[in-house]
Chains A and B, each alone.
Chain A
Amino acid sequence: MPSLLFCGPKMAACGIVISIWGVIMLAMLGIFFSAKSAVLIEDVPFTEEDIRNDKNPPQNIYGLYNQVGINCFIAAGIYVAVGAVSLCQVRLNKRQEYMVT
C-alpha cells in the first residue's frame, strides 16, 4: 500500500496550528467584511469610478465588501482542508511510530 504520509510530525503540527489560526481569523474577517466594517475600508479594492458611477450609493462599495468577505470565507474553507490534511498526517505519523516500536 502506498503511504499517504508526506510530512513529518513537526510539519503536520505546524500545519494544524496555522490552519486553526487561519480558519478563525479569516472567518472573522469574512464576517467583518460582510458587516461592512468601516475600519476595513482600506482593504476594499474600490476605485474612484465605483463612487462616481454609483446609481444607488453605496451599493457598489457594499458589493465589493461582500465579495472580499466571500473570498475570506472561501480562504477559511481552504484552511479547513489544510487542517484536515494535517490532522490525517499527524494520525499517520502516530501510527507509524507505533509500528516501529
Chain B
Amino acid sequence: MGELFRSEEMTLAQLFLQSEAAYCCVSELGEIGMVQFRDLNPDVNVFQRKFVNEVRRCEEMDRKLRFVEKEIKKANIPIVDTGENPEVPFPRDMIDLEATFEKLENELKEINTNQEALKKNFLELTELKHILRRTQQFFDEMEDPSLLEESSTLIDPSEPNRGAPLRLGFVAGVIGRERIPTFERMLWRVCRGNVFLRQADIEDPLEDPTTGDQVHKSVFIIFFQGDQLKNRVKKICEGFRATLYPCPETPQERKEMLAGVNARIEDLQMVLNQTEDHRQRVLQAAAKTVRVWFIKVRKMKAIYHTLNLCNIDVTQKCLIAEVWCPVSDLDSIQFALRRGTEKSGSTVPSILNRMQTKQTPPTYNKTNKFTSGFQNIVDAYGIGSYREINPAPYTIITFPFLFAVMFGDLGHGTLMTCAALYLVLRESRLMAQKNDNEMFSMVFAGRYIILLMGIFSIYTGIIYNDCFSKSLNVFGSGWSVRPMFDARLGGNWTFDTLEGNKVLQLDPTIDGVFKGPYPIGIDPIWNIATNKLTFLNSFKMKMSIILGVIHMLFGVSLSLFNHLYFKKPLNIYLGFIPEIVFMASLFGYLAILIFYKWFSYDASTSKDAPSLLIAFINMFLFNYNDPSNKPLYRGQMAIQSLLVIIALACVPCMLIVKTLVLRRQHLWRKNLGTQNFGGIRVGNGPTEDEAEIIQHDQLSQHSEEEPERCLLSTAVKAHEEEEFNFGDVAVNQAIHTIEYCLGCISNTASYLRLWALSLAHAQLSEVLWSMVMHIGLSSRSFGGFFLLAIVFYFFAVLTVAILLIMEGLSAFLHALRLHWVEFQNKFYSGQGFKFLPFTFESILDGRFED
C-alpha cells in the first residue's frame, strides 16, 4: 500500500541488446510488462525502419488468420479458448508458421471457390428444374381444349385463321420475385402489349452462391411472335438480370430433360455434401489452434514494432533502446534480460544502464484489483504529475463515504452490498466468462467500489435510521407522550386537547417527555412526526458543512506534503500557511460554532438560541448589535473580528507578497552571475559555501545517490532559463489567490449537495413506499395477500430501477464531483502522463490495437 501514496520512482535506462539476443530479450520484457520504450528514431518514417519487412510478414500472417477466423465464425464453429499463454516463437519459426498459414489459407480458398462453383451449378440446375415443372403447367393449360375454346371465343369467332394456331415463340427463365412488377410493366410498354407473360413463384427460397443469402425467385415464361420481339424481350430480360434457360418445345423432350436434370442434381448434392464436410473438418481443426496462432503472431508483431523503436549501433552489433522503468523493478528487468539472452543462446549479456535525464518521467501507480478502480477515478480527472501526492488512497475511504451520505438507506445499502458481493465472490468465474456487454464490464470493473459504497450506505442508513424509508426501533424511542397529560409534571394536555387539534407538539422541557437521545442514529419517532423534515434538514445541512470543511482542510493539508517533497519552502510559507489559515479561520470556525451550538443549548434554553447563518453573516459585516440574534458566547465580538482580520490579512500574503519575494529571489540570483567551466556551470554564492554546481553537461555521469539534488538543479536551471516575467507571475498568482478565496466559499456551499441529495433520496423512497407498497399493505380483507404479492413485485422492480440505479448513479456523479473539484483542486495538479509499458497483456485478452 505504501507505493500508492506517490507514483513509482522512475528512471530512464539504456538497454544494449546484442542483435541476435534482442528479439528474445524484448519478448521477455513484454512478458513482465515493466518497461516503456521510447522512440529513438522519431524522424524516420515507418517504411525506412529496420524490421519493416518482419512487421509486414507478421501483418500478412495476421491477415490470413483473420480470414480463417472469419470463415470459422461464418460456419458457427466455436473458437476454443483454453486461456493458455503461448511462448513467443523464435524468428526462425516464422517461416514454418507462414507456411502453415499459407497452406491453410490456400486450402480454404480452394474449397471456397470449388464450393461456390458447385453451388452455382446447383442453383442453375434447380432453377431449370423449377422452370421445366412450371412451364409444363403453362403448356398444359394452353393445350387444354376447353380453355382454348373460351379464349378463341373471346378473340373473335369469325377470325379467318381459326384452327390454324399461330407459331408463337417463347422464352423461359427465372427472376427475383421483387423485380416482377417492374419487369412486367417494362415488357408491356416496350412490346406495346404484344407479349404474353405468365409467371409462378418458386415456394422454397434458393441460396445465392456468392453471398450465401436466401433469395425468393419466380419462374416466368413469355410468349411472343416474331424475331424482333424476341430480341427485345431478351434484352429486357438481360437488363433485369433474369436468367434464361433453354426450354424444349415438345412435352416429350421436356420430360426427358427433367429426368436428366433431376439425376444431375442428386449427384451434385452428394458432391456438395462431401465438400461441406471437408470444409467443416478443416475449420474445426483450425478453430482449436487459431487463438494460439493469433497470440503468437501478434506478440511477434509487437516485438518487431518495439525493435523498430531502437537505435542501431554503428557497428551493427547491437541495438540500443531507451526505456522508462520503475526503479523498484530494475532487478526483475535485469533478470528478464538474462533469461532472454540465455534463451537466444548468445554469450554476450545484454546491458542495462541507468541514465540521468531532465525529462519528466511518466507517472506509474502500481495498483491491484482492489485499488485500480479508485485509481481510475482519479486518473479520469487527470494523470498525476510525477511523484505528486496521489489522492487515490484517501479516495478509497472518502469516496464511498460521501456517496453513502447521499445514499443513506439501510435497505438499499444491503441490496447494493449483496449485488457487489456476488460480483466479488464470483469474480474469477465471471472474469473467465469474458462478458462483452459494456455496461456489465463497467460495473464489474468497479465491483470493489460498489461493495464499499454499499457497506458505507448501510452505516449511514443506520445513522439516518432509514430502511426503505421506515425506521427501525431497536432500543426504544426516547420520547414519551404520557407526561404531557400529567399536570404534576407540567403537562397541560387533556383528552379534549386531542379531540380539538389535529397536530400537537410535544414539549421536551416537561420532565419525562424526552428521556435522552437514541443510542445510535436518529430517534425512530421522527419517522412519523410531521416536523420530521425540519428536524432532519437542519441536521443534514450542518453535517454537510462539517464534512465539507474537514474534507477541504484535509485537501489543503495534503498540499503541504507536496511542497515538502518538492522542496518549495516559499510555497509553504506564502502558499500553504495563508491558505489553511484563511479557511480555518472562516469555515473551520463555522464548523466549531455548529458543534458549540449543539453542546451548549438544551431543551430549556433552545428558545434563545441564535441563528448560525445570521451570526455568520453578521461576522463579516462586523454587526454585533442585532437584537434578534443574541451572541453565542461572551467575547464573541473580539474573537470574530480577529478571525476576519486574520483571514483578510492572508489574502495579500498570497496575492502580493509571494510575487514580490519571487521577484527578489530572481534578481538576487541574476546579480550573482554564473560562469561556465568546461561544461560545468557554477553559480557563485555570496560565500564559498553557497556555491553549487548548477548544471552538468548532459553526458556527464551523475552519482547515483543524489537524484534529489539533480532534480533540484534541473528545476533551478529551468527557472533560470525561462525569462522571469513579473507581469505574468503577478497575474498568475492573482488568479490563483482569487480562485482559492472565492472557491472556499463556493466549495463550502457546494458540499450542501450532500444534504440535498440525501433529502431527495429519502423523499423518493418514501414516495415509493406510500404510492406502491402502501396499496398492497392497506387492504382490510384477507384476500389482500394476493395484491400484496403483486404489489411487492412492482415495488422491488421500481426500487432497483429508480432508487438503486438512477439515484445511485446521481449520487455517484455528485461524489465524483466533490472529489474532483472540491477536494483535488486544493493540492492535485494532474499534469503528468501515464506510464504505458510494453506488455503482452492486451494481446492475451484478445484486445488488440496498434
Contact = CB atoms under 8 A, between A and B. Distances in A.
A71 B784 contact: yes
B785 A43 contact: no
Interface in B760-811: 770, 773-774, 776-780, 782, 784-786, 788-789, 792-793, 796
B792 A39 contact: no
B792 A26 contact: yes
Given A37-B473, A42-B774, A43-B773, A72 B527 contact: no
Contact of A78 (B524, B525, B773, B789): B789
A75 B792 CA distance: 9
Contacts of A42: 528, 770, 774
Contacts of A41: 528
Nearest to A22: B792
A50 B460 CA distance: 38
A39 B782 contact: no
Interface residues of A, number: 25
Given A42-B528, A42-B770, A75-B785, A67 B796 contact: no
Contacts, number: 70
A79 B785 CA distance: 11
A18 B527 contact: no
A45 interface: yes
Given A39-B471, A71-B788, A45 B796 contact: no
A44 interface: yes
Interface in A58-95: 64, 67-68, 70-72, 74-75, 78-79
Interface of A: 18, 21-22, 25-26, 29, 37-45, 64, 67-68, 70-72, 74-75, 78-79
Contact of A75 (B468, B524, B528, B788): B788
Given A26-B788, A68-B784, A78-B789, A43 B524 contact: no
B470 A39 contact: yes
B777 A71 contact: yes
Given A37-B473, A38-B473, A40-B777, 4 more contacts: A22-B789, A39-B470, A68-B784, A72-B777
B768 to A, nearest CB: 13
A70 B796 contact: no
A91 to B, nearest CB: 19
A45 B779 contact: yes
Interface of B: 411, 415, 468, 470-471, 473, 524-525, 527-528, 770, 773-774, 776-780, 782, 784-786, 788-789, 792-793, 796
**Which one of B778, B786, B789, B793 has the highest number of Cβ atoms from chain A below 10 Å of its Cβ?**
B789
Given A21-B796, A78-B789, A43 B471 contact: no
A71 B779 CA distance: 9
A44 B793 contact: no
A22 B527 CA distance: 23
B784 A22 contact: no
The list of the 6 closest CB pairs from A to B, nearest first, reads A74-B785, A45-B778, A75-B788, A43-B777, A71-B785, A78-B789
17 contacts: A21-B796, A22-B792, A38-B473, A38-B525, A38-B528, A39-B473, A40-B470, A42-B770, A45-B780, A68-B778, A68-B784, A72-B785, A75-B785, A75-B786, A75-B789, A78-B785, A79-B792
**Which one of A18, A21, A40, A70 has the highest number of Cβ atoms from chain B below 10 Å of its Cβ?**
A21
Nearest to B780: A45
A79 B778 CA distance: 19
A14 B429 CA distance: 19
Contacts of A26: 788, 792
A26 B787 CA distance: 13
A25 B796 CA distance: 10
A43 B778 contact: yes
A41 B471 CA distance: 12
A42 B770 CA distance: 9
A79 B782 CA distance: 17
Contacts of B471: 39
A75 B787 CA distance: 9
B783 to A, nearest CB: 9
Contacts of B780: 45, 64, 67
A33 to B, nearest CB: 8
A43 B524 CA distance: 16
Contacts of B773: 43
A40 B473 CA distance: 11
Contacts of A74: 785, 788
Given A41-B528, A43-B774, A70 B792 contact: no
B782 A71 contact: yes
B773 to A, nearest CB: 7
A78 B792 CA distance: 11
Contacts of B528: 38-39, 41-42
Contacts of A18: 793, 796
Contact of A44 (B473, B778, B792, B796): B778
A70 B782 contact: yes
Nearest to B525: A38
Contact of A39 (B524, B784, B785, B796): B524
Contact of B789 (A44, A70, A79): A79
B81 to A, nearest CB: 15
Nearest to A35: B473
Nearest to B528: A39
Nearest to A70: B782
A72 B793 CA distance: 13
B792 A67 contact: no
Nearest to B472: A39
A71 B777 CA distance: 8
A71 B790 CA distance: 12
Nearest to B785: A74
A79 B788 CA distance: 11
Nearest to A72: B788
A26 B793 CA distance: 11
Nearest to A37: B473
A71 B319 CA distance: 81
